[in-house]
């Protein structure tokens, strides 16, 4: 399984000289396993991925799949600029969770409203289909099994687990500590009767979701100092990611991701070094997401 990073940032794209080493595009990951090609999220990084796919048509099949973690702007803003949508010979299956007010198709089609974008959704030439997922679903493909888990973030945010013969990769973006911090749709109501039991069930489910993984890419948007008074924003720290991995008998390697747009290359170097030192103490290997980075299982 090959994992290639086309977007590393959260919140919004940045383009300044001192972020070039880690990249400035928002979240987009490309997972390849034999003849399966899965795109995770459509942040601004999907623009370059689309060009890469079109420029290498002999290498990639024209049947693509896109899984959407959630529909906040930084994870979907690149979709109208994704080149394969405009090619008649492409077939694209899109998976994601419905919100309280919109289904997955609505999110895509409304980006093409005339007030937002000049090309109507109906004018896209590719064959596009939509599939609704929830927090405990499984997609069975020829060479991959994909599982979902709802994460602690405003709205309905899904984590994805990719299992194949070569190994297991888990993608967890936009999740916050659960303690007294219930961010998902309807979670405050669910937790009201027994908050501690609700927290325990969520965290045990998350640990089970990553158990047996070789590699996890985890939101580490904030430092411990920065997350103060921002836990309700729905993001994590390197400490959170490492402590989660430590719960597994054989801890997976952790890739730091969803970098804050204010974090320069120097900031990221410091965060990476801090995380490696903490990981070493706890027996967890640490890597960091950089645009163009590749990982192979």
pLDDT of residue 233: 96
For residue 270, name the pLDDT band (cuts at 50, 70, 90): very high
Return the CATH number at 197: 3.60.15.10
pLDDT > 70 fraction of the chain, expressed in percent and rounded: 100
Residue 72: is it exposed, middle or buried by C-beta count within 10 angstroms (0-12/13-18/19+)?
buried
pLDDT of residue 101: 80
CA distance 222 to 271: 10
pLDDT of residue 75: 97
Domain containing residue 229:
2-296
Domain count of the fold of the chain: 1
Q: What is the CA radius of gyration of the chain?
A: 18
Q: Which tokens in the block code for residue 73?
A: 């702007």
Average pLDDT of the residues in 100-120: 90
For residue 242, name the pLDDT band (cuts at 50, 70, 90): very high
Inform me whether the pLDDT recorded for 251 exceeds 90.
yes
Inform me whether the pLDDT recorded for 107 exceeds 90.
no
| Contact present, 44 and 80 (Cβ < 8 Å) | no
What integer best gives the mean pLDDT of the chain?
96
Listed residue (216, 266, 219) closest to 27, CA to CA:
219
Average pLDDT of the residues in 218-232: 97
| Coil vs helix vs strand at 284 | coil
pLDDT of residue 159: 98
Inform me whether the pLDDT recorded for 47 exceeds 80.
yes
The DSSP line for 215-257 is EEEEE--S-TTTTTT-GGG----HHHHHHHHHTSSSPPEEEEE
Inform me whether the pLDDT recorded for 61 exceeds 90.
no
For residue 280, name the pLDDT band (cuts at 50, 70, 90): very high
> Of 21-25, 29-33, 105-109, 119-123, where does mean pLDDT reach its minimum?
105-109
């Amino acid at each position: 399984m090959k994992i290639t990073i086309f977007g590393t940032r959260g919140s919004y794209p940045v383009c300044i000289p001192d972020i070039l080493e880690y990249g400035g595009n928002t979240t987009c990951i490309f997972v390849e396993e034999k003849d399966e090609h899965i795109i995770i999220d459509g942040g601004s990084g999907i623009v370059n991925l689309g060009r890469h796919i079109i420029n290498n048509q002999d290498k990639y099949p024209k049947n693509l799949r896109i899984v959407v973690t959630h529909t906040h702007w930084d994870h979907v803003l690149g979709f109208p600029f994704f080149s394969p949508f405009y090619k008649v010979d492409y077939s694209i299956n899109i998976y994601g969770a419905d919100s309280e007010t919109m289904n997955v198709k609505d999110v895509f089609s409304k980006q093409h409203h005339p007030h937002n974008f000049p090309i109507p959704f109906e004018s896209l030439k590719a064959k596009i289909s939509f599939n609704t997922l929830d927090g405990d679903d499984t997609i069975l493909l020829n060479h991959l099994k994909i599982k979902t888990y709802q994460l602690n973030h405003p709205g309905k945010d899904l984590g994805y687990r990719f299992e194949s013969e070569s190994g297991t990769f888990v993608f967890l973006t936009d999740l916050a500590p659960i303690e007294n911090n219930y961010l998902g749709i309807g979670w405050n109501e669910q937790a009201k009767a027994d908050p501690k039991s609700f927290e325990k069930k969520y965290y045990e489910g998350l640990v089970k979701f990553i158990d047996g993984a070789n590699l996890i890419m985890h939101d580490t948007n904030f430092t411990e100092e920065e997350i103060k008074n921002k836990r309700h924003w729905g993001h994590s720290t390197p400490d959170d990611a490492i402590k989660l991995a430590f719960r597994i008998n054989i801890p997976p390697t952790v890739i730091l991701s969803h970098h804050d747009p204010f974090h320069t290359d120097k900031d990221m170097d410091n965060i990476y070094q801090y995380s490696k030192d903490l990981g070493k103490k706890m027996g967890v290997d640490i890597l960091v997401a950089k645009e163009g980075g590749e990982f192979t299982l």
